[in-house]
Amino acid sequence: MNRILHVDCDCFFASCDFALARKKGKNFGGFPVWVGGGRRGDGINEANRVAKKFGVKTGMACFEANRLCSRVILWRTQRDKFPRLSAEIFRLLE
């Protein structure tokens, strides 16, 4: 019998960045946060669920998101660490 496992890694990049932030002693619990990036650091790579409730979306310009949700924490992405975190998830799933 074949089995299929579906794992939805909703907000994966934001979750990685938030986990890395927690390791540095930062706590974003309950606050709208988006992970910034883009070539000039003015785009949104990912937003947490709190920010999404305000209508903030991935790929949105920061100035647009700021109109929807002005009290936000902007976290600079640490993408260089994502491959290792992704590999850890796959290792757990195996």
The alpha helices in the chain, defined as continuous H runs, are: 12-23, 49-53, 62-68, 82-93
Q: Quote the CA–CA distance of 94 and 90 in Å, as a whole number.
A: 6
Q: How far apart are CA 4 and CA 27, in angstroms?
A: 35
* Residue numbers of the chain with a pLDDT score lower than 70: 10-11, 37-42
Summarised one tens digit per residue, pLDDT across range 73-92 is 777 777 777 788 888 888 98
- CATH 3.40.1170.60 given to domain 13-18+31-93: yes
The pTM (predicted TM-score) of the whole model is 0.61
Residue 19 to residues 27, 60, 68, 81, 85, Cα–Cα distance (Å): 9, 23, 25, 11, 10
